[in-house]
Amino acid sequence: MDNNEKETTKKAVRRFSLRWQLALGMASGFFVIFIVFALLLSGLIKHHYGVLPNEVIFWLWVIIAFGGLAIFIFALILTKVILRPVRLIETTIEAFEDDPMTEVRASEVGANDEFSDLTRILNRTIDRLQALISAQQQFVSDVSHELRTPVTIVKGHMELLNRWGKDDPEVLEDSIKSSLAEVQRMETLINEMLNLTRAEQIPVDNVKEITDVGGTMNRVYDNFKMIHPDFSFTLDDDLSTKARVKIRQDHMEQILIILADNAVKYSLDRHEIHFALSQTANRVEIGVQDFGEGLTPEDAKRVFDRFYRVDKARSRAKGGTGLGLSIAQRLVEAYGGTIALESAEGSGSIFTVYLPLYVEEKNESN
Ligand code: ADP
């Protein structure tokens, strides 16, 4: 069925529109009531005078005919006004169907009634859908951009080998090594993108796991001490009781590892990392501090953006994808927490994660 055919069918279906139905309904109502009234009246006249003058019959018919017509016209005008929001809603939906990024919105007319509620809901839904479409388009564009470099490098090496590298063991080894490194990068990137998507879709209400933040922090601290012997790590544990948070343990660990890993990656000469744990009445605070390159206020605002790297080439050389902090932030927020950053260029950074303590929830359910 082509578009024209579709339009014709739509119009044919719409021919006996709600407006006509309402107008005809009102006019028929009038006819019924008036005919009953006319019959009663003529009955009364006949009863009193014995005959029904022709003049009365004539005027009754005139009133029925013109009254019906007048009511019908009045009903058409009235229903046009009443159904105007429906027409606007229909136009908006049609515009959205034609172009999902349309600027058209149903304007709220008249009273604060069911139609204006419907209009508001429709406009809000279109705004949300458009935000999702834009985010998806942005994601696809970011991902293609990120994958383009490794793919171009691997392709370059393959072409080099194809032309003259096959017989030269040095070129062969070099190209294979570089290609493998790029393929490894692509693998990391794909895994991190999956992590990011998963972090965005955590069904938090279904998470039953309660994690001891202090225990997890201690484990990460021990592991980092072991894998980075050239660094000095300290852990300031001010927790008076066990800080229990409703979060999956692997997610808690992932957040801490991302922050600790960055602290190591972006340290300069001073190889010192401080971890800190404290708690208030209803939340736990986890700090990760380094004394490395730090960030300018402009960069600090953007580091949580997907794929954002201050120095793309340097971060890339260190195996960075620009996704670590986005994943950490989405995970923290999925569990009802926040993540903050204090940083000064050249002096270092402190990332602080705030997560709600589980204790209160337990009290509530008791
Ligand atoms: P990456 O994989 O590049 O490290 P992240 O999302 O973890 O991606 O970080 C984004 C950018 O933020 C990094 O490229 C780096 O420029 C900056 N950054 C992250 N952590 C720190 C830190 N502790 N000190 C200085 N800069 C940092």
CATH of the domain at 279: 3.30.565.10
Of 50-59, 152-161, 216-225, 342-351, the range with the lowest mean pLDDT is 50-59
Same domain, 218 and 359: yes
Q: Whose CA is nearest to atom 25 of ligand 1?
A: 294
DSSP string, 102-163: ----PPP-SSSSHHHHHHHHHHHHHHHHHHHHHHHHHHHHHHHHHHHHHHHHHHHHHHHIII
Single out the residue of 116, 119, 118, 96 nearest to residue 106, CA to CA.
119
Same domain, 341 and 247: yes
The residue to mutate among 254, 257, 262, having the most atoms of ligand 1 within 8 angstroms of its beta carbon, is 262
Residue 72 lies in a domain: no
Average pLDDT of the residues in 95-101: 93
Same domain, 296 and 181: no
Same domain, 181 and 213: no
Same domain, 193 and 208: no
Single out the residue of 284, 304, 319 nearest to residue 349, CA to CA.
304
| Contact status, residue 68 vs residue 7, Cβ threshold 8 Å | no
Same domain, 218 and 357: yes
Sign of CA pseudo-dihedral 210, 215, 218, 222: negative
Residue 217 lies in a domain: yes
pLDDT band at residue 364 using 50, 70 and 90 as cut-offs: very low
189: domain range? Answer: 147-200
Look at the chain and report how many structural domains it folds into. 2
Burial class (CB in 10 A: 0-12, 13-18, 19+), 227: exposed
Residue 214 lies in a domain: yes
Of 67-71, 162-166, 245-249, 282-286, the range with the lowest mean pLDDT is 162-166
Same domain, 180 and 273: no
As a residue count, the chain comes to 366
Same domain, 193 and 244: no
Residue 248 lies in a domain: yes
- Is there an atom of ligand 1 within 6 Å of 106 CB? no
Residue partners of 112: CB distance under 8 A and separation at least 6? none
Same domain, 263 and 302: yes
Single-letter code of the amino acid located at 231 = F
C-alpha 195: how far from chain center? 17
Residue 73 lies in a domain: no
- Is there an atom of ligand 1 within 6 Å of 320 CB? yes
Q: Atom of ligand 1 at shortest distance to CA of 310?
A: 16
Residue, of 141 and 283, whose pLDDT is higher: 283
Q: Atom of ligand 1 at shortest distance to CA of 192?
A: 2
